Amino acid sequence: MLAKSGLQIFYSVRSERMLIEQLQYNLLFRWFVGMEMDEAIWNHAVYSKNRERLLNEEIAESFFRRVLERAKPYMSDEHFTVDGTLIEAWASHKSFRPKDGTGKPPGAGGDVDFRGAERKNQTHESTTDPEARLFTKSRGGEAKLSYMGHVLMENRNGLLVQTFLTEASGRAQPGSQARTRDKAPPWAAVSSRHSASA
C-alpha cells in the first residue's frame, strides 16, 4: 500500500481511479508495486478506503520512524533546518462553495461559474476537503486550495527527518519551527534559522 501511494506521488497521478487505470497497462507501475503481469487489479474504491485507513492508523508514521532509525548512523547531530512550502490540496476550485449554501448551483457536469465572485476562506470552504484553504504564494499569483507543508531537514546529507501539515496561512512558518523542534528526534539539534519557500 505504501509503494502504491509513493507511486501516485512520484508520478503525479491525480486520483486513485487513474492509478488503477495505469496499473492495468503500465508494466513499470506493476513492477514497482510487486504485481505480476497477469494479476487482477483491485477496485479503486477499495484501494481508496484502505489507503485512508493506512494513513489514519499511524502505520505510515511507524514505517517512516523505522526508516529514520536505519538512516540515523548517516545523520549529523548538528545541522538541521526547518523549511516550508505549499502543498496543493486534492480538491478542485469547483468544490470551494459558500459556507451558508448560497450562490449559484452547479450546472451540467458540476460546472460552477465563479468569475467575478469574491471568494474568501472566511465565507467559503471546499465541500470535498473542508480543511484546505485558498492561498497564494505571492501577490498576484494564482490562489489554490492548499496546506502548508513543513519539513525538518538534516543538512549535511539532505535527509528528511520530520514532516507535518498545517493550515495554509501567513502565520504558519514561524510557529512551525518550535513545533518541529518539539517533534524532532533526540539527537537533532535544530537550527534557530529557517528558510521559508512558501
DSSP string spanning 130-143? TT-EEE-SSTTSPP
Q: What digits encode the pLDDT tens for the residues 140-195?
A: 788 888 888 888 888 888 888 887 788 887 665 555 555 555 555 554 554 444 44
| Residue written as grid cell 535544530 | 190
Residue 25 burial class via C-beta count within 10 angstroms: exposed 0-12, middle 13-18, buried 19 and up? exposed
| Whole-number Cα distances in Å, 158 to 30, 71, 97, 173 | 30, 11, 40, 20
Confirm if 150 and 175 have CB atoms less than 8 A apart.
Answer: no
Domain positions in the chain are 2-57, 62-88+147-196
Confirm if 162 and 183 have CB atoms less than 8 A apart.
Answer: yes
| Whole-number Cα distances in Å, 30 to 7, 41, 49, 53, 151 | 10, 10, 20, 22, 30
* Residue 194: predicted pLDDT: 40
pTM of this prediction?
0.55
* Residue 66: predicted pLDDT: 87
pLDDT beneath 50, residues of the chain: 187, 190-198
